[in-house]
Amino acid sequence: MMTRQMAEGAARAAGRPRSEKAEKSIIEATLEMIGEGIAVSELSIEGIASRAGVGKTTIYRRWSNKEDLVVDALATLKPPLPPLRGESVRDDLVAYLKVIQDESRHSRTRCIMNIAMSDSDRHPRLAARFDELAIQPRRAVMAEVLRRGVERGELRPDLDVEMAMAILTGAMLWHTKWSQRATDLPDDLAERIVDEALRGFCPR
């Protein structure tokens, strides 16, 4: 009996690396296909399975549908925010915006994010899950930075935190997505945006 249990345990342990490898291959295949310009609506489980070198059942064991797979794949492209020291609002906001700017320099990430956002109307559940997994955590971090600044007196006590977040991220997104200079952004762009915004955010 002990021998059989040990054998079964060894089999399960040996299976884990293969399972993780398959999952990584599936995620990578999904990102590759979207990065090549295939819209979310045109993706198929069959196509992803073929690209990843796995069977469809391997995918369905992990994700119940295509949208869940896509949102998990996209979420892997959102790197964690750098540790925010909390020493000053300016430093934390600059570090936050630099992450957004750095992401824009990678053509694959930019292509995938644009497709994901453009398909949000056709796939509202995809957009909702992506917002939950990748967007809201970042918004929470930025909101905390701004509220801490208000509490410390670095920012105006009547600061509209939601509007402040829209101003900061909106300015960076405008430069990285829609500006004619999007492919040649200055290295100090985050600092310039934050410094300009703080002119209005700080106590008079």
- Candidates 76, 75, 72, 50; CA nearest to 62 is 72
- Candidates 138, 26, 130; CA nearest to 79 is 138
> pLDDT over 70 for what percent of the chain?
82
75 located within any domain: no
Tell me the C-alpha distance between 125 and 78, whole Å.
19
186 located within any domain: yes
56 located within any domain: yes
Average pLDDT over residues 49-75: 91
Residue 1 CA: distances (Å) to CA of 6, 8, 11 = 9, 11, 15
Tell me the C-alpha distance between 116 and 74, whole Å.
8
Tell me the C-alpha distance between 141 and 89, whole Å.
12
Residues 53 and 97 in one domain: no
How high is the pLDDT of residue 152? 95
Q: Which of 49, 64, 79 is the last residue of a domain?
A: 64
For the residues of the chain, what is the DSSP string, one character each?
Answer: -HHHHHHHHHHHHHHHHHHHHHHHHHHHHHHHHHHTT--GGG--HHHHHHHHTS-HHHHHTT-SSHHHHHHHHHHTTSPPPPPP--S-HHHHHHHHHHHHHHHHT-HHHHHHHHHHHHTTTT-HHHHHHHIIIIIHHHHHHHHHHHHHHHHHTSS-TT--HHHHHHHHHHHHHIIIIISTTTTS--TTHHHHHHHHHHHHHS--
How high is the pLDDT of residue 22? 93
Residues 34 and 94 in one domain: no
CATH of the domain at 173: 1.10.357.10
Residues 184 and 94 in one domain: yes
Residues 146 and 113 in one domain: yes
pLDDT of 108 strictly over 90: no
How high is the pLDDT of residue 160? 97
pLDDT of 111 strictly over 90: no
Residues 95 and 51 in one domain: no
How high is the pLDDT of residue 20? 87
pLDDT of 71 strictly over 80: yes
Between 105 and 56, whose confidence is greater?
Answer: 56
Residues 96 and 197 in one domain: yes
What range does the domain containing 158 cover? 89-201
74 located within any domain: no
The string of pLDDT tens digits covering residues 125-156 is 777 877 887 788 889 999 999 999 999 999 99
Residues 60 and 94 in one domain: no
Residues 109 and 184 in one domain: yes
The string of pLDDT tens digits covering residues 84-103 is 888 899 999 999 999 888 88
The string of pLDDT tens digits covering residues 27-61 is 999 988 988 878 888 889 999 999 999 999 999 99
Categorize the per-residue pLDDT at 11 as very low, low, confident or very high, splitting at 50, 70 and 90. Answer: very low
**Token pair of 55 as six digits:** 């069977």
Categorize the per-residue pLDDT at 119 as very low, low, confident or very high, splitting at 50, 70 and 90. Answer: low
